[in-house]
Amino acid sequence: MGRRFPPARIVGEGKSLPQAYQRAQGRSLLSSVVKANPQFRHLDGLLTGVADACMNEVREHDAHIVGVCSSIKGEGKTTIAMCLATAIARRAAAPVLLVECDLETPTLAQDLKLLDAQGVSECLSGGAWWTGTIQKSPVEHLSIITAGQATCDALSLLNRPEMDRFVSEIREQFKYMVFDMPPILEREDAARLVEVVDKVIFVIGAGMVSQEVVESGVTAVGRDKMMGVVLNGAWSHAPDWITRLVTADSGASSPSDAT
C-alpha cells in the first residue's frame, strides 16, 4: 500500500475548499485554493486555515520552521509559501521570515519585485551576514530573505556548517519561519532541507501529477515531518485518489459520506 498522509487538525479556506471537505474536520487536507497571484495584493483570507495550523504547531510542538515543497516544479509551492507567510504575519502579528531555499532556480525577487540582492547563497558561502540580506515586505511583520545569486552547487552550500548556524540564528530572531524548498523529487538539496525544517506542507498542483508521483514525494519527505497538504488549483471536486490519500487512517468518514 502507498504512503499515507498523517492526519492534520485543520481544514481551511471557506469557498476555495470543495464543499465536502469543508464538512470533514480532522483531515490531512489543509486547504484547496485557486491559483494565486504571486503579489502581496488580494491575499486577505487566503490560506488562513493553514496559517492557524502553523501557529498551533508552534504553540504545541515548538515547530517554528515550516517548509513548503512539492513533488516537481511548477506546482505552485513558491506562491503558496508567499501566501502562507503573508497569512501568518497578518494573523499572528509577530515576526515572520520567508526564506527562499531554492538556490538553483530562484524566482522570489522577480515575483515580488524585490531587490535582486544578496541572499541565502551569499550567507552560506561567507559573502554576506544574514542580517544584511533581509528585505522588508509591504506586509507588516513579514521579512524576506531571497536565494541571492543562483548556484548550481546548492547541495554543497546547504551541507556547510554555515547552514546550521544560519538556521540557529534566525530561530532566535523570528517566531515563525517559512522555507520555500526545491521540489523534493527533482533536487537532492531538498532532502537536506527536510532535515532542517520542523514540519513540511506539501503542495499538489491540480491536474499536474499522478498518484504515484505524489506518493513518491510524500515518502521522500517522511511521515514524521509531514504537516499536511495544500491542493493548488480550482477544482469543484477533488479526484478520488486524493480523497483516498488524505482520508486514509484519519478515522473519519469519506468526504462523499459527509452531510
Q: DSSP per residue over 98-147, as a string?
A: EEE---SS--HHHHTT------HHHHHHTSS-GGGS-EE-SSTTEEEE--
pLDDT in tens, 55-107: 999 999 999 999 999 999 988 899 889 889 988 998 998 999 999 999 999 88
Stronger pLDDT, 145 or 249, i.e. the higher one = 145
pLDDT at 190: 93
Q: Give me the residue spans of the domains in the chain.
A: 51-229
Cα dihedral across residues 148, 155, 187, 214: positive or negative: negative
Domain 51-229 matching CATH 3.40.50.300: the answer reads yes
pLDDT at 45: 54
Q: Confirm if 150 and 105 have CB atoms less than 8 A apart.
A: yes
Location of C-alpha cell 491542493: 231
| Whether pLDDT at 209 is above 80 | yes
pLDDT in tens, 153-187: 899 999 999 999 999 999 999 999 999 999 999 99
Please give the model's pTM, rounded to 2 decimal places: 0.77
Q: Which of 96-100, 187-191, 237-241 has the lowest mean pLDDT?
A: 237-241
Tell me the pLDDT of the chain averaged across its residues. Answer: 76
